[in-house]
A and B are shown apart, each in its own frame.
Chain A
Amino acid sequence: MNEDLTRIAEARKAWEEGPLQEALKRYPYVQPDTCRFYTPLDVKDFSFLEKVGFPGEYPFTAGAFPVEPLAGMAKFAAMATKGGLPAAMGQTRAATYSGYGTPENTRDYYKGLLDRGGRAGPNLAFDLPTQCGYDSDDPLVEGEVGKVGVCVDTLRDFEIIYEPYQGDLDLDNIASNFTINAPADIIIAMYFALAEKRGIPLNKLRATPQNDILKEYIARGTYIFPPAPALRLFRDSLVFIAKNVPNMNITSIGGYHIREAGATREQDLAFSMAIAVAYLQAGVDAGLQVDEFAPRFTFNAFGGSMEILKEIAFQRAARRMYARILKERFGAKDPRSMRIRQPIGVHIGPSSTTLQRPLNNLTRAVIGAVAAALSGSTPVPFPPYDEPLGLGWSMEALQLAQDAGRIITCESKLLEYTDPFAGSYCMEALTDEIENAATAEFEKIEKMGGAVAAIENGYMQKEISRSAYEKRKRIENGETLVVGVNCFTGEQELEVTTNRLVAHPYDPEKRERAEEEQKRKLAELKRTRDSNQVARLLKELENQARNEEQNLIPILIECAKAYVTEGEMCNVLREVFGEYQPVSFL
């Protein structure tokens, strides 16, 4: 210990035994762990270049990029209010997550966005039947067609959704997002088929499929096949995209869903990293160099909570951990491979909101967004305060959330400082703490054989259920305080009503009619397509699926072009791969 640290240690001891002890005696409800004060002693081996570095440089603790792209957002926002976003900034982005009813309903919704000056590509929310690999006419999915997103059965549906995207908004000029996992290969094959039919080369396409199947077994639950064949499907998409569609992202990995399902901060980070490693390894095992595909990995978000400082530390630790894994384990040389690209940081979600006194959820969303702004992300207050009141947000709640983000950006100017806590004894110690805890958990999973093994044996699922239950118990026994839920509750509750002054863009009547309409159209399509060709292609798909070495994307594109349905393709794959059977957690 150098002389300075020795002196600090002595001074700390004197302070702890003297003034701190006295104060703790005087305020008996204050516990040592609720008045923590950090000193250089907490970050003894701290080396700025090794632990933090410059923004956009290894190990990326300070930031994934040299500048936060939206740091100049104030100016950008002002431009937006004066006459729309600058074309170049909106052009290759996808719209916000959207889609409902039939493909026609969703097409009309996007057409409306374009008519109002939007230039963004579709960011498709699929209904649950599509996400789970069932056609709209499957008896198992009755009542769910077109509900939480748009239904897609065949390429015909993609052709309809993309009708408004022609000319200077054709597929080579927009970006598309597909929130789909288990049948992601089929959906992207449909997109490639659409591009080929329109004569647009695949290397001009920009898109982001969520394509993060492994977290579906732990959270969110839209799995179909067991994890091992699911990873093979992931590999097929990775290899095909890396070789043929260089501007397309391969996956958008999400710790957010895992945290919302009850994971602790450390589990969120450890499980996300273990899953990312499984995906990266799949690419390497397929014979690719890591730098050929890792730059096309994205993260959609990690989770968040109300604990601002720990969440900032989490974001810093996540960037450093991922960078180290890429560099040290996979031997990446391209810095782009080592970066966590994510549209949202510190993504708090519905699990941070309360039904009681729902306006408080705006405060909570702002806390999450402040943490995001202080850790290198755009502040996107989420969710709108009326989230727990039912499905769908009021325009009032949406605007309040949006404006809160604008206030943080334009008025608080938090984004004008990159990693403002760098070098803080507290922040560096917290960052180390979270990284160490997550690394220990990550190594435990690696010892089991990695993410796939830890899902097959039910480890991750059970751990998340346990964490969720423990979190719930802490709220119920008052150990964790939630305002308006287990503390500060009283008789003077005000009833908060939400206003729906502007009609929702999704027409509820159309949504109700969607199932019948889609079933009718699907029956018609099945009558008019070449059924011999369909049967031949499905047989060929089955043969290729049985050969683990075979990349399935080309045959899936052929199937798509022949209007084979998603359910037909999934049923063949169910035959070959089997279906995932969840493990018991009780």
Chain B
Amino acid sequence: MTETEVKRRVRVLVAKPGLDGHDQGAKVIAMGLKDAGFEVIYTGLRQTPEKIVNAAMDEDVDVIGLSILSGAHLSITRRIMELLKEKGLESKMVIVGGIIPEEDIPKLKEMGVAEVFVSGTFISEVADFIQKNIK
């Protein structure tokens, strides 16, 4: 057995924070990452930052993917990063996807978001990013 084969599969939580129900992107990413070999857990709609962080902890995921199209990406992500820090989970990789205006991308990265994927991103780009950057 090679080293990569004994390593457990990377676990990704795909989460949809807030009340917005536009979940095509989140679902497509979840299905795509699953086909790319990741373990994927999808939270469903209407998740609070607390629920998402708890799910990340309970499911012991390596990556948290947030899909946000409601315009509330800054406040929601800030809250989630705070909660992760409080729980000592700042090592989890957080990625954000959705309708994110260009000027907000550096702000999200400053909060500790590993990467922001805007609409039109290929699933393979997301998968590659996770593979290359996961510790």
- Measured CB to CB, the residues of A under 8 A from B are 128-129, 131-132, 134, 140-141, 143-144, 147-148, 216, 219-223, 260-262, 351, 354-356, 388-391, 465, 468-469, 472-473, 476, 485, 582, 584-586
Which residue on chain A has the smallest CB distance to residue B40?
A586
Chain B nearest CB, measured from A117 CB (Å):
31
Give the shortest distance, in Å, between A385 (CB) and chain B (any CB): 14
The answer to whether B34 touches A586, judged by C-beta atoms less than 8 angstroms apart, is: yes
Main secondary structure of the interface of A (DSSP, over half): loop
CA distance A148 to B100 in the complex (A): 16
Which of B18, B21, B30, B100 meets A586, CB within 8 Å? B30
Report chain B residues within 8 Å CB of A221: 20-23, 45
19 A–B contacts, CB within 8 A, in A order? A128-B18, A129-B19, A134-B19, A143-B18, A143-B75, A147-B70, A216-B21, A221-B20, A223-B21, A262-B24, A262-B28, A356-B120, A390-B99, A468-B24, A469-B32, A472-B28, A472-B32, A476-B123, A586-B31
Q: Which chain A residue has the least Cβ–Cβ distance from B103?
A: A390
Total A-B pairs, Cβ < 8 A: 90
Contacts beyond the supplied A148-B20, A469-B32: 7 A-B pairs with Cβ under 8 Å: A143-B18, A219-B21, A221-B21, A261-B24, A390-B100, A390-B101, A473-B32
Interface string of B40-83 (1 = CB under 8 A from A): 10101110100000000000000000000011100110000000
Q: How far is the CB of A57 from chain B (nearest CB, A)?
A: 38
Size bin of chain B's contact surface: 20 to 34
Q: Which residues on B are within 8 Å of A, measured CB to CB?
A: 18-24, 27-28, 30-32, 34, 40, 42, 44-46, 48, 70-72, 75-76, 99-101, 118-120, 122-124
Asked if A144 and B123 sit within 8 Å, CB to CB, the answer is no
A148 CA / B27 CA spacing, docked (Å): 22
Contacts of B22 in A (CB 8 A): 220-221, 261
Q: How far is the CA of A216 from the CA of B71 in the complex (A)?
A: 21
**B30 / chain A contacts, CB cutoff of 8 Å:** 586
Partner of B120, one of A148, A220, A354, A465: A354
Q: Is the CB of B123 within 8 A of A468?
A: no
Given contacts A356-B120, A469-B27, A485-B120, contact A128 B19 (CB under 8 A): yes
- Min CB distance A585 to B, Å, is 6
Closest chain-B Cβ to A518's Cβ sits at a distance in Å of: 16
A148→B48 contact, CB < 8 A: no
Report Cα–Cα, A354/B120, bound state, in Å.
7
* Min C-beta distance of B108 to chain A, whole Å: 14
Pick the contact of B122 from A134, A355, A476 — CB < 8 Å?
Answer: A476
Enumerate the 8 nearest inter-chain pairs by beta-carbon distance, A residue then B residue, closest first: A221-B21, A128-B19, A390-B101, A391-B71, A469-B31, A355-B120, A465-B27, A472-B28
